[in-house]
Amino acid sequence: MERIPILKFGDILLVTIQVDFHDRIALALQEDLTEKIVNLSAKGVLIDISALEMVDSFMGRVLGNIAKTSRLLDCYAVLVGMQPAIAITITELGVTLTGIHTALTAEAGIDLLNDMIKSKSNGKVHAKRQVAKWR
C-alpha cells in the first residue's frame, strides 16, 4: 500500500504530505509516525501540508490525533505551511486542531521545534502555544 514517507533529521521527524491522500493513507501515517517516534526516540515531528489543497474534518481529526499521540510520547508536533484558504475553511467547518502547534514555513517550524525541545531539556517552563479553542 502507498505510504507517506517519514524522514529523520536528528531528533526531528519530517513528513511532507504531497498528495491528496486517502483516508487509509492518513490512518497509516498516524500509525507509522507513532511507531517511529518510539523507535527512534524522536523529540519533534514536523508535518508540512503546504501542497495540500484541502483538509476536511476527517483529516483534521487525523492531524489532531497525531498531535495528541505525539504529546503522550513526549514529542512535539508542528504543522507547517497551511494555505490561507484551508485555514479559513477548516475554521468555518469547526475543526479546532486543539493542541497542535503551527508555523508558517518549514524553517519556522524547525526553529519552533528546536526551541521547544531545548527549553524542555533546560528544565525551563516554556510558553505553550495552542491553536484555537473558539466556539
Q: Which residues bind another protein (CB under 8 A)?
A: 20, 22-24, 53-58, 60-61, 79-80, 82-97, 102-105, 108-109, 129-135
Instruction: Give min distance, CB of 23 to another protein, in A.
Output: 5
Query: Closest separation between CB of residue 71 and another protein, Å?
Result: 17
Closest by CA to 23, choosing from 31, 35, 34, 12, is 31
Q: Which is nearer to another protein, 16 or 40 (CB)?
A: 16
Q: Which is nearer to another protein, 39 or 124 (CB)?
A: 124
Say whether 31 sits in a helix, a strand or coil: helix
Q: Angle at Cα 129 formed by Cα 17 and Cα 33, nearest 5°?
A: 35
* Cβ distance to another protein smaller for residue 40 or 83: 83
Strands 76-80 and 44-48: parallel
3-state helix, strand, coil in the chain (%, to 5): 45, 15, 40
Q: Which of 26, 52, 32, 49 is nearest to 13 (CA)?
A: 32
CB of 88 to another protein, least distance (A): 5
Instruction: Give min distance, CB of 73 to another protein, in A.
Output: 22
**Dist CA 67 CA 46 (whole Å):** 10
Closest separation in Å from C-beta 93 to another protein = 4
Residue 40 vs 131, nearer CB to another protein? 131
Our CB check for another protein shows the closer of 103 and 116 to be 103
